[in-house]
Structure 1
């Protein structure tokens, strides 16, 4: 259970830094595309156009980011923060959820996914079974 929580925190932090990244890490592709699109749309609406088209050298990137954040309206800052926080919380909650069991065969006791019992381990989370089952 601790591994699941650590994974959820890491996925949440990734999604806070770049909305949609955490969802992509846990393979929730539609949610990842949704949050990436929402973030790009929010940036396009609220960040001044002059900041998006500026040619900035790599060593001046941090200073340019500070200038952009100072020139952006309060509503823009709030909108981008809401998108980042929403993406973080969604990724965290999605990472904590167990997959729904729709299989008829044997499942892994750790991750709940369908496994091939003759392998002796779960091919999804590498959990080793006590002894391989014979079918």
Structure 2
């Protein structure tokens, strides 16, 4: 399941940077990557030509938009937008696999076996990824 989440996060981040971080519930990074991509698009893409092309109502209109994008954007803009998407995909993949940068796994509290984040020992589920947690081996369930 972890590999599937990582691949899903990477694929969504390629389509729209930040979307893959939404899958792994990393809200701040999702907002940062989406904001960065939308800002770069607004600054560097030929908005005047795209708005002059009119609304998309058929498949042919999508091809017209693609032609405008290919003709009117320079190589640096294409590289910048591709770099943001690729970096977002790599970051979402590593974070989905449990390799968050700067985290130390030597914490005192219990961690979730699925996402690796610290959880409250009193809960029966991870409040980050909703995985059901089994009670510790030394604890016996209390029945009243």
Task: Name the TM-score, length of structure 1 as normaliser.
Answer: 0.75
Q: Give the conservation status (yes or no) of the 8 Å contact 1:19–1:36.
A: yes
Q: How does 1:40-55 map to 2 (within 5 A)?
A: 40-54=38-52, 55=54
Unaligned runs of 5+ in 2: none
**How much does 1:41 deviate?**
1.4
1:34-73, Cα deviation, whole Å (9 max, x unpaired): 1111101111122113134232223112331232222211
Pairwise CA distance, 1:134 = 1.8
The yes-or-no answer on 1:65 pairing with 2:66 is yes
In 2, distance between residues paired with 1:45 and 1:6?
Answer: 34
Structure that is richer in helix per residue: 1
What is the number of equivalent residue pairs in this alignment? 130
Is the CA contact (8 Å cut-off) linking 1:4 and 1:95 kept in structure 2?
A: yes
Aligned-CA RMSD value: 2.9
Q: Any residues of structure 2 matched to 1:76-115 within 5 Å, and which?
A: 76-97=77-98, 104=109, 108-112=112-116, 114=119
In the alignment, what sits opposite 1:37?
35
Task: State the alpha-carbon separation in 2 of the partners of residues 127 and 63 from structure 1.
Answer: 52
Deviation at 1:110, TM superposition (A): 4.3
Using the alignment, how far apart are the partners of 1:107 and 1:39 within structure 2?
Answer: 33
Any idea what SS the aligned residue of 1:58 has? coil
Contact 1:5/1:96 (<8 A) preserved: yes
- Unmatched segments (≥5 aa) in structure 1: none
In the alignment, the residues of structure 2 paired with residue 18 and residue 7 of structure 1 have an alpha-carbon distance, to the nearest angstrom, of: 16
